């Protein structure tokens, strides 16, 4: 997200889901769309049916490859090299959209200079993708308009994830594919309300609407609205919070609907951090692995038991309605948080209901300024929607970019290797993935018998060549070890993974993949590198 803010001035998906069907070229990089965002994948398939060329760039041969005109199988962690290589071809062959660059962008020259380092010999060697494929993909992307880029965690979960995102953005700017329907840079958000949680300022550096915590005028605005004084410096990120807890600096944690023991990279470290936390409050709908360690567990209402709004990956704010009563004493999160605040004697938490909270959100969040429950109707509204008569915004950066300069910014980049690379001791690269049938740590999906029946255990995917070399067979149980932890898991021998790369999900508590993964952080976005981690495989007798 930080990367897109640098390039475009906004971190959100630039275009709308429905527009994807009309793209004439789609580059899907670092997204296993049919599995993680199945209904967006339907639009991609529809575009292909209508004649679009799909370029899949992924270390693994994902299901979407069946629809792809081109499959670029870059080595894990080599995305910057691949994207810059494509950019280099586009510039060298005079395929760049010069009018767009001239009128709508800035810093092109510095970017162009940084392309010098990406001659095709270097790119081919670094990515493992044959040069004519890179050339072909670059030409196709530059000449088929509109062209859209889709990406997900395969781009962001790297130590240089921010660079990856900016490389994606550079490519879109270079070809003039921003600010038009069916084009753009489209990060597909994982959880159903990640977009909304970010918009609402559940982030350590911004208030609702990405208003910066460090700006005095912003602070004063919120101090006035909330009637309190507010801290001046930014807070800690997810991973930093657990580091601080580990070092005894954080003593109380309020954990809402999260299961970091399974989801966090380097999960053992998180477990220790939680052990050292004096007071952990977990608010959730189920007893999770993390809740077991809490001092207080508060039972929350599920989505079907309350009113409110979610904001999907295309910035669409949509209403949910209460369908059933909560079991037992479970209560909506709004009620619980308000109760705690009120019992602490803090004012400003006596809302009559979610509609009233939305009114306060609209009054303080410019992009949500025109949003109210009355207006959400059947289709919801896509932000920015600044005023009550604004129809919402299907695609961003139409007339000008959201950045203060109004321009799209090219960012010069260099190639940086992953924090961990394969070596003698840990000769394979483990990358994390998802299953179609489960979600995240599977707190919800594993409670559904049918989903559990379709997919009930972790399988470590491994290339037949590696399997033969290691003498392991399909279905055999092995131990996978990294510098941080180990787990035992059943092996699935498949061509989906290239030689040297293995993959696993993190849905199953029995095989806690994130005990292995690396929590090395991208320095800007602070996202851990769960997509690249060196491992070795040992036989268990």
Partner 1 sequence: MNEVTLTIDGLAITAAEGTTVLRAALAGGVYIPHLCDHPDLDPVGVCRLCMVEIGGRMVPACRTPVSEGLTVATGSPLIDAVRRTAVELLIANHPEDCLTCSQNDDCQLQRVAAYVGVDRGRLGRLRRTAEEVPVDRSNPFFNYDSNKCVLCGICVRTCGQRQGVGAIDFAHRGFDTTVSTFGNGPLAESVCESCGECVVRCPVGALAPKALEQPSREVKSVCPYCGVGCGMYLGVRGNKIVSVRGDTENPANQGSLCVKGRFGQGFVNSPKRLTTPLVRKDGRLVEATWDEALDLVAETFSRHTGDQFATIASAKCTNEENYLAQKFTRAAMATHSIDHCARL
Site membership for partner 1, residue 188 (CB under 8 A): yes
Q: Which residues contact 39 (CB under 8 A, 6 or more apart)?
A: 17
- Choose the stretch contacting partner 1; rule: CB under 8 A; options: 70-78, 197-205, 414-422, 495-503: 197-205
Alpha carbon 253 to its chain's center: 24
Residue span binding ligand SF4 (CB under 6 A) among the ranges 31-39, 82-90, 122-130, 194-202: 31-39
Q: Which does 316 bind (CB under 5 to 8 A by kind): ligand SF4, partner 1, none?
A: partner 1
Tell me if 199 contacts partner 1 by CB under 8 A: yes
Positions 117 through 136 that interact with partner 1 (CB under 8 A): none
Residue 448 touching ligand SF4 (CB under 6 A) = no
Question: d(Cα 137, Cα 140) in Å, to the nearest integer?
Answer: 5
Residue 185 is encoded by which pair of tokens?
């840079």
Which residues 251-270 are close enough to bind partner 1 by CB under 8 A? 251-258, 260, 263-265
Sorted by sequence, the CB contacts under 8 Å of residue 63 that are 6+ apart come out as 32, 34, 35
If you compute the radius of gyration of the chain from its CA atoms, what whole number of angstroms results?
23
One residue of 65, 91, 200, 218 binding partner 1 per CB under 8 A: 200
Residue 478, strand partner residues: 489, 539
User: Position of tokens 């971190």?
Assistant: 11
**Stretch of 248-256, 422-430, 474-482, 483-491 lying at the interface with partner 1 (CB under 8 A):** 248-256
- Per CB under 8 A, does 418 bind partner 1? no
Q: Does 444 bind partner 1 (CB under 8 A)?
A: yes
Binding-residue pattern over the window 322 to 351 for partner 1, x denoting contact by CB under 8 A: xxxx-xxxxxxxx-xxxxxx-xx-x-xx--
Question: Of 24, 312, 482, 511, which one interacts with partner 1 (CB under 8 A)?
Answer: 312
- Whole-Å CA distances, 521 to 80, 449, 531, 535: 17, 36, 12, 18
Place of tokens 């003498």: 471
Contacts (Cβ under 8 Å, ≥6 apart) of 352: none
Among 275, 292, 510, 538, binds partner 1 (CB under 8 A): 292
Residues 405 and 529: their CA atoms lie apart, in Å, by 32
Cβ distance to ligand SF4 smaller for residue 38 or 464: 38
Q: Closest distance between ligand SF4 and the C-beta of residue 205, in Å?
A: 28
Tokens standing for residue 417: 């290797």
Among 299, 366, 427, 500, binds partner 1 (CB under 8 A): 299
Tokens of 73: 């199988």
Binding-site partner at residue 322 among partner 1, ligand SF4, none, CB < 5 to 8 Å by type: partner 1
> What is d(CA 402, CA 122) in angstroms, rounded to the nearest whole number?
35
Window of 98-106, 140-148, 315-323, 413-421 that interacts with partner 1 by CB under 8 A: 315-323
Buried b or exposed e, range 251-278, using 16+ CB within 10 angstroms: eebebeebbbbbbbbbbebbbebbeebe
Q: Which is nearer to ligand SF4, 24 or 312 (CB)?
A: 312
Cβ pair 219, 233 in contact under 8 A: no
**Which one, of 308, 311, 281, 310, lies nearest residue 293 by Cα?**
281
* Residues from 369 through 388 that contact partner 1 (CB under 8 A): 378-379
Residue 45 near partner 1 by CB under 8 A: yes
At 253, is the secondary structure helix, strand, or coil? Answer: strand
Of 20, 47, 135, 298, which one interacts with partner 1 (CB under 8 A)? 298
62 makes contact with partner 1 (CB under 8 A): no
Q: How far is CA 307 from the centre of its chain?
A: 26
Span of 36-44, 99-107, 336-344, 354-362 interacting with ligand SF4 by CB under 6 A: 36-44
Binder to ligand SF4 among 18, 38, 359, 421 (CB under 6 A)? Answer: 38
327 binds, among ligand SF4, partner 1, none (CB under 5 to 8 A by kind): partner 1
- The least CB distance from residue 333 to partner 1, in Å, is 4
Rounded to whole angstroms, the Cα distance separating 302 from 372 reads 22
Examine residue 486 and tell whether it contacts partner 1 (CB under 8 A). Answer: no
50, 130, 304, 417: which one binds partner 1 (CB under 8 A): 304
Q: Residue of minimal CB distance from ligand SF4?
A: 39
Q: Under the phi-then-psi rule, with left for phi > 0, alpha for psi from -120 to 50, and beta for the rest, what region is 80?
A: alpha
453 lines the binding site for ligand SF4 (CB under 6 A)? no
Beta carbon nearer to partner 1, 99 or 453: 453
Please, what is the end-to-end C-alpha distance for the chain in angstroms? 45
Give the x-and-dash track for 39-78 against ligand SF4 (CB under 6 A).
x---------------------------------------
In this structure, what DSSP letter does residue 382 have? E
**Which residues form the interface with ligand SF4 (CB under 6 A)?**
37-39
């Amino acid at each position: 997200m930080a990367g897109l803010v640098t390039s475009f001035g906004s971190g959100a998906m630039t275009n709308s889901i429905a527009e994807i069907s009309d793209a004439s070229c789609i580059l899907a990089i670092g997204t296993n769309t049919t599995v993680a965002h199945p209904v967006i994948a339907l639009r991609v398939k529809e575009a292909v049916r209508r004649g679009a060329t799909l370029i899949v760039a992924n270390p693994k041969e994902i299901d979407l490859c069946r629809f792809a005109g081109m499959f670029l199988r870059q080595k894990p962690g080599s995305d910057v090299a691949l994207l810059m290589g494509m950019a280099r071809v586009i510039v060298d062959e005079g395929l760049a959209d010069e009018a767009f660059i001239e009128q709508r962008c800035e810093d092109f020259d510095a970017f162009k200079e940084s392309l010098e380092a990406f001659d095709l010999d270097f790119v081919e060697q670094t990515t493992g993708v044959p040069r004519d494929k890179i050339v072909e993909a670059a030409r196709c992307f530059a000449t088929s308009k509109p062209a859209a880029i889709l990406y997900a965690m395969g781009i962001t979960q790297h130590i240089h994830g921010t660079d990856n995102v900016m490389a994606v953005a550079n490519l879109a700017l270079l070809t003039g594919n921003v600010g038009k329907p069916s084009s753009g840079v489209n990060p597909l958000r994982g959880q159903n309300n990640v977009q909304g949680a970010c918009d609402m300022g559940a982030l350590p550096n911004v208030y609702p609407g990405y208003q910066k915590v460090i700006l005095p005028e912003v602070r004063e605005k919120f101090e006035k609205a909330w009637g309190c004084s507010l801290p001046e410096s930014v807070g800690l990120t997810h991973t930093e919070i657990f580091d601080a807890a580990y070092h005894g600096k954080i003593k109380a944690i309020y954990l809402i609907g999260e299961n970091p023991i399974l989801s966090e990279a380097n999960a053992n470290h998180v477990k220790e951090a939680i052990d050292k936390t004096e007071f952990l409050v977990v608010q959730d709908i189920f007893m999770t692995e993390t809740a077991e360690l809490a001092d207080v567990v508060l039972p929350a209402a599920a989505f079907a038991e309350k009113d409110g709004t979610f904001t999907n990956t295309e910035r669409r704010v949509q209403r949910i309605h209460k369908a059933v009563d909560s079991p037992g004493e479970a209560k909506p999160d709004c009620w619980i948080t308000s109760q705690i605040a009120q019992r602490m004697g803090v004012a400003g938490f006596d809302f009559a209901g979610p509609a009233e909270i939305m009114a306060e959100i609209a009054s303080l969040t410019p992009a949500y300024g025109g949003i109210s429950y009355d207006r959400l109707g059947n289709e919801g509204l896509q932000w920015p929607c600044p005023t009550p008569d604004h129809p919402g915004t299907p695609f961003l950066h139409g007339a000008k970019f959201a950045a203060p300069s109004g321009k799209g910014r090219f960012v010069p980049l260099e190639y940086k290797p992953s924090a961990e690379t394969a070596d003698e001791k840990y000769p394979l690269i483990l990358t994390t993935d998802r299953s179609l049938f489960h979600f995240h740590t599977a707190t919800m999906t594993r409670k559904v018998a049918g989903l559990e029946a379709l997919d009930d255990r972790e399988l470590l995917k491994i290339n037949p060549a590696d399997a033969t070399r290691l003498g392991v067979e399909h279905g055999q149980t092995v131990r996978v070890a990294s510098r941080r932890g180990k787990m035992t898991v059943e092996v699935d021998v498949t061509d989906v993974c290239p030689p040297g790369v293995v993959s696993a999900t993190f849905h199953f508590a029995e095989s806690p993949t994130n005990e292995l993964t690396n929590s090395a952080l991208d320095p800007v976005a602070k996202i851990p590198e769960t997509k690249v981690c060196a491992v070795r495989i040992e036989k268990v007798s």
